[in-house]
Amino acid sequence: MQMAKYLKSMVILGALSGYGYSTPAAAETVNCTNITSVPTVITTQGVYCLKQHVSAALASGAAITVNTNNVTIDCNEFKVGNLAAGPGTNAVGILATARQNVNVRNCGIRGYRTGIQMLDGSYRVEDNVLDFNTQTAIHVSGAGSAIRGNEIVDTGNTGLPGVTTFHGIFGEGDVDVIDNLIDGVVASGGSNGTAYGIRTDDMNGGTVKGNRVRNLARDGTGARRGIWNESGVRNTFEANTVVMDAGGLLGADAGIRCGGSSLILNGALRDNTILGTGVLGEVFGLINCTSIQGNFVNPL
């Protein structure tokens, strides 16, 4: 009887052990073309990846340029670095213009003027970590594009003259901006610059949802704008959290602005939280928006 119990236990432990070994610790893209150095230009459709960190010291140009459609770049949590170029860099981390079905995911992008810049096409920018980029972390334009699940930390402080706007995320056109963290956008000293957590423009029927924005710092006569829709109508702003601090909001600041005029169709809000407006700045917590339910603005 004891031997039978022992054998049964060994069978169960063996099965559990086999199950554990068969479960991967993390998903990884391995069937891909490895990008081994930068700068590089992609001209053939397919799946590209990093299997190691890559870095450069680019004063201009782009580390990775996508010059074709139907491309996926998966960095497998590796870094595309450019800190060695310093705050005066004018370079871009990953660049695409007028391309369709281009996806960038799982990348660490560090030390560029713009971390990811993908314009006038159809793009997905997902699950990346961008830090120490000196003006804008992510800039995407093109109907049907999406910016989702990215972590953006310590953007700003460019050494280039004449720069007055700084962005965690800048979306143009009908771009959805969902579940991103923006922590720290700082206008350069002496710039009179404005710090945007999320800025959208010409967005119609878009969604800005589940984002967290905090630690924005203007310079001089600039402003702090948590989520700012420059123009567009019929947009939805849902379950975002914006934390404003250091003296509350002033006349040019905003927690969330739905659009450039007071039309109801500029945007509908649901379940957003704006903190730290200051008693005198509560009116700037939500601007040109129609509140449906659950929105909370607190001066503290």
For residue 77, the model assigns a pLDDT of 97
For residue 245, the model assigns a pLDDT of 81
Length of the chain: 300
7 compared with 64, residue with greater pLDDT: 64
Calculate the alpha carbon distances from 94 to 3, 89, 91, 139 in Å.
63, 14, 9, 10
For residue 264, the model assigns a pLDDT of 67
Is residue 25 predicted with pLDDT exceeding 60?
no
Distance separating alpha carbons of residues 173 and 157, to the nearest angstrom? 27
For residue 27, the model assigns a pLDDT of 64
Mean pLDDT calculated for residue range 67-87: 98
For residue 208, the model assigns a pLDDT of 98
Contacting residues for 287 by C-beta, under 8 A, at least 6 apart? 254, 255, 256, 257, 258
Is residue 187 predicted with pLDDT exceeding 50?
yes
Mean pLDDT calculated for residue range 62-69: 98
For residue 28, the model assigns a pLDDT of 85
Is residue 24 predicted with pLDDT exceeding 70?
no
Percent of the chain scoring above 90 in pLDDT: 80
**Residue among 266, 207, 254, 261 at smallest CA distance from 227:** 254
**pLDDT tier at 280, thresholds 50, 70, 90:** confident
Is residue 22 predicted with pLDDT exceeding 50?
no
Mean pLDDT calculated for residue range 270-290: 92
pLDDT in tens, 113-161: 999 999 999 999 999 999 999 999 999 999 999 999 999 999 999 999 9
For residue 110, the model assigns a pLDDT of 98
Return the structure tokens found at 27: 């998903």
**pLDDT tier at 14, thresholds 50, 70, 90:** very low
For residue 21, the model assigns a pLDDT of 29
Percent of the chain scoring above 70 in pLDDT: 89
pLDDT in tens, 218-274: 999 999 999 999 998 889 999 999 999 877 898 899 999 998 876 766 788 999 999
Is residue 4 predicted with pLDDT exceeding 80?
no
| Segments making up each domain of the chain, as ranges | 2-298
For residue 265, the model assigns a pLDDT of 67
For residue 228, the model assigns a pLDDT of 97
Contact call for residues 236 and 263 (beta carbons, < 8 A): no
Distance separating alpha carbons of residues 118 and 124, to the nearest angstrom? 9
For residue 134, the model assigns a pLDDT of 98
Contact call for residues 85 and 118 (beta carbons, < 8 A): no
Looking at the structure, give the CATH architecture of the domain made up of residues 2-298.
Answer: 3 Solenoid (2.160)
